[in-house]
């Protein structure tokens, strides 16, 4: 496994939320962290708050050249020990009502960037027979949720991609963990109806991400007791499951308070 003291770690989407909490937890354990984010000002503020072991780099995870430059910047002082593919966005509402370009961008950030980042760092890790990659998915990667169909597709994709690559990595000394958190109180869930759903703080997810460096297990659900839910969805007849989801999520799939969510939406569209 990866000893975090002295490790070099890259975190995408690290300016806020889960990414910022993860960077803080890594720095606390002695790692040097490169915080990649499109919002360089926010990333810089986070890095300054965390001290000399944190560095901010502008990163557009949908741009291969930008991602490669981010990796090269981190690797300039030595090999990358750990990559946390955390960057993600979430659009809400009925699939048919959403902007097609926005849906493609959601896939590019949530899934395409995981492909890119993993492909960039794996060759060096395999050559050194040492390294750890964490792909942040979601419980939406196990349980379909009406109103965030493309988000679910992207997170299901992260789960499947990680599982297939993990099999290829057997015996290489490189590990890969998929993190599947429940709804987490970040800007991404601002204004979202979370009735009867377990919710987390970013620090809860960060602890699972950082902890994976010490065990390398394939999948970690946060909280752990939700792990069987994906299996239950396949076992429960669809009409019953749809009623359960409507009971939890409300009558309007994908409904949210636009006023509470506006700042997140504006920043997402601007970037």
Residue position matching structure tokens 């920043």: 267
Contact in structure between 153 and 194 (CB atoms under 8 Å): no
Helices 113-128 and 64-75, packing angle to 10 deg: 30
The yes-or-no answer on residue 264 being catalytic is no
What sign results for the dihedral spanned by CA atoms 89, 18, 195, 234? positive
Tokens of 119: 């492909």
Nearest CA to 106 out of 120, 92, 85 is that of: 92
Q: Which helix (H) or strand (E) segment is 35 a member of?
A: strand 32-37
- What is d(CA 260, CA 267) in angstroms, rounded to the nearest whole number? 13
Spell out the alpha helix ranges (H) of the chain. 17-28, 40-50, 64-75, 100-107, 113-128, 149-168, 202-215, 229-235, 238-249, 258-270
Work out the angle at residue 193's Cα, subtended by the Cα atoms of residues 190 and 199, and round it to the nearest 5 degrees: 75
Instruction: List the catalytic residue out of 70, 151, 253, 256.
Output: 151
Beta partners for residue 132, in sequence order? 82, 175
Residue positions annotated with a catalytic role: 151
């Amino acid at each position: 496994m990866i000893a975090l003291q002295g490790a070099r770690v890259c975190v995408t989407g690290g300016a806020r939320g889960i990414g910022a909490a993860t960077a803080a937890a890594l720095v606390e354990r002695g790692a040097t962290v490169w915080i990649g984010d499109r919002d360089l000002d926010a990333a810089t503020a986070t890095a300054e708050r965390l001290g000399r072991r944190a560095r901010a780099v502008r990163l557009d995870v949908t741009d291969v050249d930008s991602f490669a430059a981010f990796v090269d910047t981190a690797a300039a002082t030595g090999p990358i020990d750990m990559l946390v593919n955390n960057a993600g966005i979430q659009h809400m509402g009925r699939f048919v009502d959403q902007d097609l370009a926005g849906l493609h961008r959601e896939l590019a950030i949530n899934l395409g960037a995981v492909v890119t980042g993993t492909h960039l760092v794996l060759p060096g890790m395999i050559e050194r027979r040492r390294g750890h990659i964490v792909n942040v998915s979601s419980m939406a990667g196990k349980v379909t949720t009406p109103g965030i169909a493309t988000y679910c597709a992207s997170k299901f994709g992260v789960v499947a991609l990680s599982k297939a690559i993990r099999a290829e990595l057997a015996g290489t000394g490189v590990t890969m963990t998929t993190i599947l958190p429940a709804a987490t109180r970040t800007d991404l869930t601002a204004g979202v109806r979370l009735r009867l759903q377990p919710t987390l703080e970013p620090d809860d997810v960060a602890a699972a991400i950082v902890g994976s460096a010490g065990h390398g297990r394939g999948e970690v659900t946060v909280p752990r007791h939700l792990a069987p839910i994906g299996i239950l969805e396949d076992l429960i007849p669809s009409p019953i499951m749809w009623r359960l989801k409507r009971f939890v999520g409300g009558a309007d799939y994908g409904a949210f308070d636009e006023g509470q969510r506006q700042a997140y939406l504006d920043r997402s569209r601007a970037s």
